[in-house]
């Protein structure tokens, strides 16, 4: 069992899935997990002293840039700490030459490889990727949101005089498009994957229980899979008719 601190630096003003999913995988594998979202929380000095390994979520360019500053402070306080960079910009982290001898960067198929790395604390070789992309979210695999800051620390939806807490979920991974300005095609090569409908709705349920009055879909393109998107949106509306939903562009 390893004590792991999962850090997010930025994820569009909502609870970071890039933090919650690795936390869920590691907890399910028997590791102890704490989390810190530096977008809304102070530097986790005590948690860093407790941890034996750090996972840094790097799902986008801004998160990667902010992670570099966080890494500098982390190395000053715990120079021996093994770090895993997980997310769309994992390969970028590797290309920057910032990985130490016990560090790892995981962009493709990160779940099994992250668990293997954490269990071995970098001492054993990390298995190669399976040639697939993204986070393999199995049916029943839910983001571990209990370790994150509460929803009231994040962005809110303002509707007239009413404010609603916001929860962000994903119904798909990847993207069917190949827009040249976007980093997603670099990893996904114009492909997407539908996440299990039951898992998406179960995540919505836990967000609503936590106080969310508005659910948005943070997919790169919610209509990657139109039939799947319509099924999920319809089921969400039937289960939580008062929670609006949208799919903002990244």
pLDDT in tens, 198-226: 999 999 999 999 999 999 999 999 999 99
Are residues 111 and 156 located together in one domain of the fold?
Answer: no
CATH of residue 185's domain is 3.30.750.210
pLDDT tens per residue across span 43-69? 999 999 999 999 999 999 999 999 999
Contacts of 227 (CB under 8 A, 6+ apart): none
Are residue 84 and residue 188 in the same domain, yes or no?
no
Cα–Cα distance, 221 to 162 (Å, whole number):
28
Among residues 22, 28, 91, 18, the alpha carbon closest in space to that of 53 is found at: 22
| 29 & 108 share domain | yes
Its pTM stands at 0.91
Instruction: Report pLDDT for 132.
Output: 45
* 112 in the same domain as 158: no
Pick the residue with more confidence: 243 or 43? 43
Q: Please count the structural domains in the chain.
A: 2
Pair 105, 213 in one domain: no
Q: Is the pLDDT of residue 127 over 90?
A: no
What pLDDT does residue 250 have?
47
- If asked whether residues 110 and 165 sit together in one domain, one would say no
The answer to whether residue 136 sits within a structural domain is no
Residue with the larger pLDDT of the pair 154 and 125: 154
The arithmetic mean of pLDDT across residues 109-124, rounded, is 85
Residue 98 lies in a domain: yes
On whether both 116 and 160 belong to a single domain, the answer is no
- For the domain that residue 85 is a member of, what is the CATH number? 3.40.50.280
Domain that holds residue 209: 150-246
Which two tokens mark 56?
């840094």
Helix axes 17-28, 110-120, angle to 10 degrees: 60
pLDDT level of residue 249 (50, 70, 90 thresholds): very low
**Cα distance between residue 192 and residue 183, in whole Å:** 14
- Residue 202 contacts residue 230 (beta carbons within 8 Å): no
Tell which residue, 36, 35, 27, 23, has the closest CA to residue 1.
27
Instruction: Tell me how far apart the alpha carbons of residues 72 and 106 are, in angstroms, rounded to a whole number.
Output: 20
């Amino acid at each position: 069992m390893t004590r792991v601190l999962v850090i997010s630096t930025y994820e569009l003003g909502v609870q970071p899935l890039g933090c919650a999913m690795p936390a869920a995988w590691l907890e399910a594998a028997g590791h102890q997990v704490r989390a810190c979202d530096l977008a809304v929380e102070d530097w986790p000095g005590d948690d860093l002293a407790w941890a034996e390994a750090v996972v840094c979520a790097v799902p986008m360019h801004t998160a990667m840039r902010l992670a570099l500053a966080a890494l500098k402070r982390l190395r000053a306080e715990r120079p021996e700490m093994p770090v895993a960079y997980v997310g769309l910009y994992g390969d970028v982290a590797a290309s920057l030459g910032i990985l130490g001898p016990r560090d790892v960067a995981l962009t493709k198929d990160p779940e099994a490889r992250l668990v293997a790395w954490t269990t071995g604390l970098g001492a054993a070789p990390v298995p190669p990727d399976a040639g697939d992309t993204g986070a393999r979210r199995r049916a029943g695999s839910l983001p571990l949101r209990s370790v994150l800051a509460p929803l009231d620390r994040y962005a809110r939806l303002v509707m007239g005089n009413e404010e609603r807490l916001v929860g962000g979920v994903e119904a798909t991974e990847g993207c069917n498009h190949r827009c040249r300005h976007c980093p997603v095609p670099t990893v996904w090569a114009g492909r997407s994957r539908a996440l299990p409908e039951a898992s998406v709705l179960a995540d919505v349920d836990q967000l609503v229980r936590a106080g969310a009055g508005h659910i948005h879909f943070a997919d790169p393109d919610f209509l990657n899979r139109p039939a799947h998107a319509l099924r999920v949106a319809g089921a969400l509306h039937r289960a939580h008719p008062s929670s609006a939903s949208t799919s903002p562009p990244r």
